[in-house]
Amino acid sequence: MNMVRAASILDIPLLARHRAAMFRDMGTLAAGSEEALVRATETYLRDAMPRNEYLAWVAQTAAVPPEIIGGAGVQLRPLLPRPGIGSEELELGPEATVLNVYVEPPWRRCGVAERLLQTVLTALAERRIRRIVLHASADGRRLYERLGFAATNEMQLMTGPIR
């Protein structure tokens, strides 16, 4: 039986490697960029996790010692108050962005990602966070839709490099 637990500072190197592997597996990580992404992610997580701006969970096997086979994270950000959708209540935030959902290849299609996401959604509900967003990969879209996520009107503008 696999279990999901909250990640700790000790898990940062693995969380950073999972992030790089996720982008590599999606074909969006330039050759030779993996180590730079890992280092930058580790730096970010060492700062954000203690401040609870980034929350993370890992899935691990029941083996002794356990093997971490997947992970997922949430970046929390303040939300400027705005009208609630279909409600007269205001949305006050924070907003949670689900990131870095990754499962090691041998464990894919075994329910690990779903278990991670259910844990994430439960933790966010306990924090009374109602606005949850993510960017779905083609492989993850069906799972996210099954969990209730829906496409939105989000748009994106990519500008040139900052000089």
Question: Which structure tokens are listed for 119?
Answer: 């844990």
Nearest 5°: phi and psi at 64? Answer: -120, 115
Question: Which residues lie below 8 Å from residue 146, measured CB to CB, with a gap of 6+?
Answer: 114
Question: Which residues lie below 8 Å from residue 51, measured CB to CB, with a gap of 6+?
Answer: none
Given a contact cutoff of 8 angstroms between Cβ atoms, the answer to whether 75 and 97 are in contact is: yes
Does residue 128 lie in a domain region?
yes
Q: What is the CATH number of the domain that holds 57?
A: 3.40.630.30
Q: What percentage of the chain has pLDDT greater than the value 90?
A: 72
Q: What is the pLDDT of residue 20?
A: 96
Does residue 30 lie in a domain region?
yes
- What is the rounded CA–CA span in Å between residue 140 and residue 152? 16
Tally of CA atoms within 13 A in the half-sphere of 10 that contains its CB? 3
Q: What is the pLDDT of residue 79?
A: 87
- What is the rounded CA–CA span in Å between residue 118 and residue 43? 27
* Closest of 65, 44, 54 to residue 6, by C-alpha: 54
Does residue 155 lie in a domain region?
no
pLDDT at 108 over 90: yes
Most confident of 27-31, 120-124, 147-151, 154-158: 120-124
Does residue 105 lie in a domain region?
yes
How many domains is the chain built from? 1
Domain that holds residue 75: 3-82+91-146
Q: What percentage of the chain has pLDDT greater than the value 70?
A: 98
pLDDT at 161 over 80: no
Average pLDDT over residues 88-117: 93
pLDDT at 163 over 80: no
Does residue 160 lie in a domain region?
no
Most confident of 7-11, 88-92, 140-144: 7-11
Does residue 161 lie in a domain region?
no
